[in-house]
Structure 1
Amino acid sequence: MTLEFLPVFLSVADRPCLVVGGGATAQRKLTSLLRAGAAVTLVSPQLTETLTRQAQAGEFRHQPRPFEPTDVRGMKLVIAATDDATVNRQIATLAKAQDIPVNVVDDPDACTFLLPSIIDRAPVIVAVSSGKTSPVLARLLRTRLEALIPAGYGRLADLCGRYRTRVKDRFSDQRDRRHFWDRVLEGAVAERIFAGQVEEAEAAIERELAPGALDHDLGEVYLVGAGPGDPDLLTFRALRLMQQADVVVYDRLVAEPILAMTRRDARRIYVGKERNNHVMRQEEINRMLADLARDGHRVLRLKGGDPFIFGRGGEEIDTLAAEGIPFQVIPGITAASGCAAYAGIPLTHRDYAQSVTFVTGHLKDGSINLNWTQLAQPGQTIVFYMGLVGLPIIVRELIAHGVAPAMPVALVQQGTTHMQRVYTGTLSDILGVVEADPPKPPTLIIVGEVVKLRDKLSWFRTFEDPRQGATTPILAEH
């Protein structure tokens, strides 16, 4: 299939360009030309408020009158953006007769060039066009590409430009140069740029240029929060690093659909922990991460929820920092936030809770060592992680320290996933609810008046929800 339009990037800096029209469409076209440095003349008897301000500021030359045929003369590019199709066609005919590229809005057959949808990471520009077929499709593709191309690519391109000559002088062999740029663009240098750490990126590229650097590649560790289970809750950066790492070290709480989004050829190492069943001690995990990175691997440490909220992420990067291993931390949606949102329970609310506290309900020696007096204070929401086994102690201690037995309680099982179930009750009866129909871990416990809002605000239903018999997650109708 032949190309109807040749994709090109045209320099219009300081060159005379014409826009005819003063509406919102003309405004968008003019904005693109001004960003490219064009010397724009705009012809229109009326302008939008924004165009009026720009004209008064001298950003372009304004001719406050209808189009005249002589307006096209001497122009290097023309855009017809009036609301009169006859005038637009006249402009196109005149421009074509003088071999001037012309674009006519909403009339692709009259165009000799198209303005694509763009992803602007200047100096990196990605353009998407569907030709004459579907501008809406082009915008959709642009939106999806926006999510895959970090804003830092512009800074990365600037860095590469500054080092281009040095790299060429350093590596005379083209294969070595390609290897060098592959390491830079897909490794620690690029990630430092994406994280806004320009000085660290420059230091890293200097190390890459040092003699012998190609003989040994020090890897990096990505400590990534996988969220509570729904893959759609991953951050863009998390997804990019998941598909970049060649070793994946993951926990039990990482959902299988999320694990499936990592590189297919990546080595996977399971270090999950269950109650009284630790596959690998924490100290061994810390040591393994450092050793893998030292061997040159890009290591993805994938943890459920957020790695810095009851995830021992701080312990793992403490070892890396002490040994000079590059690392970065990508936060995830913690279980409290994700599960509460999917259960229709706001953790704070002006009428019910002015603060929220996250605590671990993990048993140690048969007890839970918490500041129960503080947790019993009114006007707050308490979220217990890993508290299912210790639920009887939680209920007993809260009531003993002054919380009303009628205080609402919710248990969210496997929140944000198709297996989500929400159990509700009060401190006085929740143990009976659980005994009659035991929930499966991981289950989050929410205690507070905000639980009362669930019936009104619940929006996420699954086949496990006893109030709706659907087989897949759907939105609730109110």
Structure 2
Amino acid sequence: MRYLPIFVDTENKTILVVGGGAPAAAKIRTLIKTEATIKIVSPTVTADIKKYASENAKLSIEYRSIQNNDFDSVDFVYIATTDAEENKRLSKLAIDRGLMVNVADQKQDCSFISPAIVDRSPVVVAIGSEGAAPGLARTIKADIEARLPTSTGKIAFKIKELRSRLSRKFAAVPNRQRFWAEFFPRGQKLEAFLRKSPESIESLFEQKIAAQPEIMIGTVTLVGAGPGNLDLLTIGAQRKLHAADVIVYDRLVSQEILDMGRREARYIYVGKAPGDHTTRQEEINRILVEEALSGYDVVRLKGGDPLIFGRADEEIEALEMAAISYEIIPGITAAAAAAASIGASLTSRGHNRSIALLTGHDTKGFAEHDWASLARPESRAAIYMGLGAARFIQGRLMLHGAKEEYRVTVVENASRSDEKIVATTLGALVQDIEKYGIKGPAVVLLGFCPKQAGQADIKIRSARS
């Protein structure tokens, strides 16, 4: 995002518009809706600009050419003459004076650009494409225009009035935030809500506030973030992230997933790296309980699925002991994403009737498993956190009869743009992990190799090719 969308307070501000033709008129049509004083400098102006000036005391016209001192004592500048070179010169002059400048149809000379606007003041929606596709921005604007009733502004002013009454009932901010989150409907129901009269909104408010308890305790949702690809995040997870007051997240959660959360939410990082558990599980449990008891709706965001090697049972136990309600939103686990990347089914009819999901480490160090069963040719397993234990796993399997040529595939960052796939064998597993620079997070798939049909579509580094 190169252009930061912001709303600027125009009260007691002065805006200079240079130019008097159709491009300037288009800018002025929006500017007169603000509280700024507008100064227009141009030898000639269109009839509609004259009309705007006759109807708005805050708008003045000076019929002359622009002068350097016109840039004194103004806050923003819009340049819209018909001379592109003159526009460029004036833009540089204004920018050198530290002014914010917009030049009509000359994005390269702007220090800010104007978005398409849907005005239902005080509700204002701004849509921009950073100048890449203004037609698309206008189409999106038209769609939102049709969805937002003209009564939206009246409803917003009524809500402003009701907020002070809600503050008297709930002193705690999270309690008020939750009330409003539950008060406003979503989807198509919101459109119908905005068409109500301010009086009916107030009546609904009275009903809702009377039904609310004096003390509100928050909830905790354990949410699976999936393997990191935004396309694999569930709709349920997206909804919870949009509504959360606090997001407690792990190291393996990608930034694009975090960006789905509310901007106003608090983000608490509790990540753990192999061998570096900076935030102990007991501390994570304490954070979840403390935030919920303070009235906040909390999302505990975990990479993959929270119920698979995510220590969800410990967090659930802590929540139940504190009598805090919780919900679980499953996510796509890394083994499923890795299998999809290599075009393989985790189970195969007539071959393997089960798939083992294993961890390479436990509380005592390298994890012990039923190696004799895993060493059988027909066995299939996905090992999480297995890179550091690769030599141990290799030795245990071969000790119990697994052959060196036994097929193994390692998938690093499954489903992400930096995904790496290494198709190897049990005998070459350790050296190929080092050879191809696999650092993790990675899943070790025992008994699997990439399907030939899918190799043209995925990036594969094969130790056997």
TM-score range, shorter chain: 0.5 to 0.7
Structure 1 partner of 2:181: 186
Distance in 2, matches of 1:235 and 1:175, equals 37
Equivalent residues in 2 for 1:170-185, closer than 5 Å? 175-176=165-166, 183=178
Structure 2 partner of 1:278: 277
Return the offset for 1:456: 2.6
Cα separation, partners in 2 of 1:223 and 1:190, compared to 1, 3 Å: farther
TM-score, with length taken from structure 2: 0.54
Letter in 2 for 1:423: V
Structure 2 partner of 1:218: 217
Structure 2 partner of 1:327: 326
Pairing 1:301–2:300 present = yes
Letter in 2 for 1:298: D
Q: Does the Cα contact within 8 Å between 1:252 and 1:271 map onto a contact in 2? A: yes
Match of 2:458 among 454, 461, 470: 461
Return the offset for 1:367: 3.4
1:268 partner SS: strand
Structure 1 partner of 2:384: 385
Structure 1 partner of 2:358: 359
Q: Unpaired runs of 5+ in structure 2?
A: 1-138, 148-161, 187-207
Distance in 2, matches of 1:190 and 1:372, equals 54
Distance in 2, matches of 1:367 and 1:221, equals 32
Distance in 2, matches of 1:174 and 1:264, equals 24
Distance in 1, matches of 2:239 and 2:455, equals 32
2:332 partner SS: coil
Distance in 2, matches of 1:346 and 1:292, equals 41
Pairing 1:247–2:266 present = no
Pairing 1:336–2:335 present = yes
Q: Does the Cα contact within 8 Å between 1:412 and 1:444 map onto a contact in 2? A: yes
1:243 partner SS: helix
Structure 1 partner of 2:372: 373
Distance in 2, matches of 1:210 and 1:313, equals 36
Pairing 1:400–2:395 present = no
Structure 1 partner of 2:34: none
Q: Does the Cα contact within 8 Å between 1:224 and 1:330 map onto a contact in 2? A: yes
Equivalent residues in 2 for 1:11-26, closer than 5 Å? none
Distance in 2, matches of 1:310 and 1:189, equals 37
Distance in 2, matches of 1:277 and 1:236, equals 32
2:430 partner SS: helix
1:275 partner SS: coil
Distance in 1, matches of 2:398 and 2:437, equals 22
Q: Does the Cα contact within 8 Å between 2:373 and 2:379 map onto a contact in 1? A: no
Equivalent residues in 2 for 1:189-204, closer than 5 Å? none
Deviations 1:265-314 (A, max 9, x none): 21111000011211211011111101100001111110000000000112
2:443 partner SS: strand
Return the offset for 1:422: 0.5
Distance in 2, matches of 1:408 and 1:385, equals 17
Cα separation, partners in 2 of 1:341 and 1:185, compared to 1, 3 Å: farther
**What stretches of structure 1 move > 6 A for 4+ residues in a row?**
177-182, 188-191, 208-212
Distance in 2, matches of 1:173 and 1:312, equals 40
Return the offset for 1:360: 0.3
Q: Unpaired runs of 5+ in structure 1?
A: 1-136, 146-171, 192-207, 468-478
Count of residue correspondences: 281
Equivalent residues in 2 for 1:51-62, closer than 5 Å? none
Pairing 1:421–2:420 present = yes
2:247 partner SS: strand
Deviations 1:296-353 (A, max 9, x none): 1111110000000000112111111121112111000011111211222221122543
Question: What fraction of aligned residue pairs are identical, expressed as a percent?
Answer: 38
Distance in 1, matches of 2:293 and 2:238, equals 23
Return the offset for 1:373: 2.0
Distance in 2, matches of 1:322 and 1:187, equals 26
Structure 2 partner of 1:200: none
Structure 1 partner of 2:155: none
Q: Does the Cα contact within 8 Å between 1:223 and 1:302 map onto a contact in 2? A: yes
2:355 partner SS: strand
2:433 partner SS: helix
Distance in 1, matches of 2:445 and 2:185, equals 41
Pairing 1:288–2:283 present = no
Equivalent residues in 2 for 1:225-240, closer than 5 Å? 225-240=224-239
Letter in 2 for 1:383: A
1:277 partner SS: coil
TM-score, with length taken from structure 1: 0.53
Distance in 2, matches of 1:234 and 1:350, equals 29
Distance in 2, matches of 1:173 and 1:278, equals 43
Distance in 1, matches of 2:257 and 2:178, equals 26
Q: Does the Cα contact within 8 Å between 2:423 and 2:461 map onto a contact in 1? A: no
